Structure 1
Amino acid sequence: MAQPANLKKLARERMERTGESYTTARKNILTNKPESPRAARAAEARNYSSQGKTGKQNSGKAKSAKPKNTGQSANAPADLDELPEYPAPENVVQYDAALWHRVLTQAGVTNPVTGQPYSEAMLAGLAGGIGFMQHSFQDEDAVSIALVTRAHPEPYTQNLLTRCGAKINERTTGSSVRAAEYLDTGLDAGRAVVVRVAVNALPWIEEGEVDESDTIDLAVVGELEDDLLVDDGSGALNPISPEDLAAARARRKREKFWQAWITSRRSPKPQVLAANVLDAVQETTARLLGTSELRGIPVHFAKNFGITGMRTFAARLRDTEGKTGWNQMFADAEQLETGLSQLAGFLSDTRFGGIGGLRGLYADFLDEAADLPGLAELGEHSAAYAQLAASWIDFAQLLEEPVETDQRQPLFDKMAQVMDQIADAEQDAAQSLADTAAALRTAEGVAH
């Protein structure tokens, strides 16, 4: 939506004239809704009353209109008219980290060292950064491919919210009525509210386009007439009726009607953020190296994760005889085309993968983390992950050209060779970073 450059000033002036909340005034300006004469007269009466019938100015500020009872607490944010505008998505690499970058920016939360909004890279690193999981499944009709290069299986968004240090109002309820009330509270406070929905229940998603189990987080940023405006990362704010949004939220089997919003501008102290960064780095390296237990993952499936998973993947690419070998799985031309397309999609996707396997974004995280107290040595490892990003791009480029069925094994052999090289480099990078993090853990300023 096009927004006036001086929108905050216009909204503030309208609030003074009409007694509207900041959110309502802002919405009405954007939709060109005229001011209510009755509201303007009421505001004039309030101002007159606050100044005294003699026309003399009170020693204090003029009283504002009594806010409507929205159910928000007395600790709701003040100076809502000074909140930053909600930014548009730009150069997104990882969907969830970028979404929360925009939400935290709009709430005024900043990196305590730089004084600037949290970057997508910092939030992605705090969430767990990078990982690996590859799984192939074949039934009678089709082959399904999954490849995840972000942190997995730990709760990505929950880690992000916990470690960023922002003050968060997070709620889950089984009641659609209560969920709507919670949503209104956040919007009335002038904040974007993140909700979790079933993707295939969104009105702009074609039926059958995505799997029924797919979910996504959206930011509800305001209202437009009778609709809500949501940020789904597309670059435009999509209108959706409250009823359709409630239906999409209700389709979630777990964490039904989950939502979260930022209640204040509060940022953590630099030392606290440094400790949280170190927690995240140690979790990331342990998962990649296989030195920590994978929560909720059966032992027999753990071979598909981390650097071990990369080597398992390379072995399956080379296997020409076994049922789990790619040569046998993709003997059919149509399944070969579909499988390679799925793999390429995961490597370019911003939800569970991303360009360069998200390794470039992780390099940026390490560079930023190095500015925190006691963590300067983390920056020495960013070059290794920048190089890994280039290797992951090389792997993805192998999938760009069509391949005939009789040429599939030479392609798989090339893919296996590159994957082996990636696994070796990932092993060296993760072990080196883990050693540095272990040494920093006992250093002054970051020890728990």
Structure 2
Amino acid sequence: MSMQNYTQFGGIHPETATMTNVLANQGFVSPHNGRPLSEAMVLGIAGGLGCGYILWEFKKHDAAILVMGFQNKWNYTTQFMQNFCDRVGVKADFLETGGAKTAAKHLGDALADGRFPIAWVDQEKLPYFYLRPMYSGCFGHFVTVFGEKDGRYLLDDRSQTPLSVDGNTFSEARKRIGSYKNRLLLLEANGSDFDLPAATMAGLEDCVDYLSQSSQTFALPVYKKWAKMMTDTKNKKGWPTVFKEKKGLYSTLRSLHEGIKLFGTAGGGLRNVYADFLGEASDILNQPKLEEAAELYHRVAVLWRNFADAVLPDEIPPLKETKTLLAKKYHIFLSCGTEADAELRQLSQQLQDMEVELNGRFPISDDTMQALFADMQGHLEQIYATEKEALAALAGAIS
């Protein structure tokens, strides 16, 4: 069902990759070049960049995870997606239900109608992520369902090859996070006759407005606050206090590296992807100053990548090994998907074993840890300063 007409797979960022591929597979094209919108354009029109920093502590499991938001309205994804649809004239139908039977019917009906529904799911319940059970319900995710065959749902999830999950498992993944209400998004493209310059400008203005807020949770000041937390010994959320016993430090550093460089960001907190959008927007709006802003966001992306590598320094052997294993795992998944399941399972088990061992007993001295935190603070201060410079250039280009 549905799968015969689905030919574009893969992508970078779950929220934008799903919308990009669904519309491309529906034949939706841009009026300026007659080709499907790039993922960079989808990101930019939807509102572009965001900021976010939340440190979750799992004291029961000697673990901690750092969650970062790099897209506009990263904590209000339905609004992010709705804004994009409104700006390009695509109809968005959000289907929700608390019941498993109705949820299955919604999905079955959509596939029977030849639709490609985007589903809200729990990462831990999808077997190809190989997450520890303790993370059940912690990390939301987005996949496109493009067919059903022999009791298995066929999924598009950033890999260049299709994935499949059995029906019961997928049902569990959809219902695990109660606030999602088994949500599906159905997109309906009504041709491609929309005002691309207006949609592009709306996305640019949204991004500038969002990043310019004073919030220390969802706007640029979050990075200034985060930098302070790296060496603050008085705040209970300061890293010297949270990680005084080093418990959970390993998983936090790993999640920081993974979240910036590997999972859905194209290696630099989405800043490179947004810079690509600015390059396209410059041509669409005939505004050369956007190219200058694009160069600054490329520079910010480099700073984010450097920061991601710095938190897993080669001088600390288990962190160097973690960095190597993660890079290998992501490369295999994105290029081969579950066709390389045995190797993915082996790499994931190695990483899980290291997490269990090192979260409770991290092999560095107090002095080494404090030096690492100070170095991270320096990276964050440089990122914050350059992010502000890039935002000022962006605001000036559209004023």
- Normalising to structure 2: TM-score of the pair? 0.76
Q: Residue 330 of structure 1 aligns to which amino acid in structure 2?
A: F
Query: What is the rounded CA distance, in whole Å, between the counterparts of 2:164 and 2:257 in structure 1?
Result: 31
2:191 matches 1:276 = no
Deviation at 1:310, TM superposition (A): 0.9
Q: Residue 310 of structure 2 aligns to which amino acid in structure 1?
A: L
Query: What is the rounded CA distance, in whole Å, between the counterparts of 2:124 and 2:302 in structure 1?
Result: 34
Match of 2:144 among 210, 216, 219: 219
Q: List aligned pairs for 1:214-363, cutoff 5 A.
A: 214-264=139-189, 266-269=191-194, 271=195, 273-290=196-213, 302-351=215-264, 353-363=265-275
Task: Give 2:323's aligned residue.
Answer: none
The ranges of structure 1 where at least 4 consecutive aligned residues each deviate by more than 6 angstroms after the TM superposition are: none
Task: Give 2:369's aligned residue.
Answer: 408
Query: What is the rounded CA distance, in whole Å, between the counterparts of 2:55 and 2:168 in structure 1?
Result: 38
Task: Give 1:118's aligned residue.
Answer: 37
Match of 1:166 among 90, 94, 109: 90
**Alpha-carbon contact 2:91-2:187 (below 8 Å) kept:** yes
Deviation at 1:322, TM superposition (A): 4.1
Rate the CA distance shift 1:350–1:129 in 2: closer, same or farther, 3 A.
farther
SS in 1 for 2:52: strand
Query: What is the rounded CA distance, in whole Å, between the counterparts of 2:110 and 2:288 in structure 1?
Result: 38
Q: List aligned pairs for 1:7-26, cutoff 5 A.
A: 23=1
Match of 1:418 among 362, 379, 383: 379
SS in 1 for 2:197: helix
Aligned length: 344
2:21 matches 1:102 = yes
Question: Which residues of structure 1 form unaligned runs of 5+?
Answer: 1-22, 28-82, 292-301, 440-448
Question: Which residues of structure 2 form unaligned runs of 5+?
Answer: 317-363
Match of 2:291 among 343, 358, 379: 379
**Alpha-carbon contact 1:363-1:386 (below 8 Å) kept:** yes
Rate the CA distance shift 1:115–1:282 in 2: closer, same or farther, 3 A.
same
Listed one character per residue, the Cα deviations across residues 112-140 of structure 1 (whole Å, up to 9, x for unaligned) are 21211111111122233222222335575
Rate the CA distance shift 1:422–1:198 in 2: closer, same or farther, 3 A.
closer
Deviation at 1:169, TM superposition (A): 4.0
Listed one character per residue, the Cα deviations across residues 62-95 of structure 1 (whole Å, up to 9, x for unaligned) are xxxxxxxxxxxxxxxxxxxxx5x42231xx4322
Query: What is the rounded CA distance, in whole Å, between the counterparts of 2:100 and 2:371 in structure 1?
Result: 54
Task: Give 1:149's aligned residue.
Answer: 70
Rate the CA distance shift 1:305–1:171 in 2: closer, same or farther, 3 A.
closer
Deviation at 1:326, TM superposition (A): 1.8
- Normalising to structure 1: TM-score of the pair? 0.68
Rate the CA distance shift 1:223–1:338 in 2: closer, same or farther, 3 A.
closer
Greater shift, 400-409 or 131-140, is seen at 131-140
Query: What is the rounded CA distance, in whole Å, between the counterparts of 1:324 and 1:258 in structure 2?
Result: 34
**Alpha-carbon contact 1:197-1:251 (below 8 Å) kept:** yes
Deviation at 1:286, TM superposition (A): 2.2
**Alpha-carbon contact 1:126-1:277 (below 8 Å) kept:** yes
Listed one character per residue, the Cα deviations across residues 294-319 of structure 1 (whole Å, up to 9, x for unaligned) are xxxxxxxx423322111111111132
Deviation at 1:410, TM superposition (A): 1.9
Task: Give 1:33's aligned residue.
Answer: none
Query: What is the rounded CA distance, in whole Å, between the counterparts of 1:237 and 1:164 in structure 2?
Result: 27
Larger radius of gyration between Structure 1 and Structure 2? 1
Rate the CA distance shift 1:342–1:418 in 2: closer, same or farther, 3 A.
same
**Alpha-carbon contact 1:289-1:431 (below 8 Å) kept:** no
Deviation at 1:393, TM superposition (A): 1.3
Deviation at 1:382, TM superposition (A): 0.7
**Alpha-carbon contact 1:289-1:427 (below 8 Å) kept:** no
Q: Choose between structure 1 and 2 for higher RCO, CA contacts under 8 A separated by at least 6 residues.
A: 2
Q: Residue 110 of structure 1 aligns to which amino acid in structure 2?
A: V
Same amino acid, percent of matched pairs:
26
> What RMSD in Å do the two structures reach over aligned CA positions?
2.8
**Alpha-carbon contact 1:381-1:433 (below 8 Å) kept:** yes
**Alpha-carbon contact 1:274-1:374 (below 8 Å) kept:** no
Deviation at 1:373, TM superposition (A): 4.3
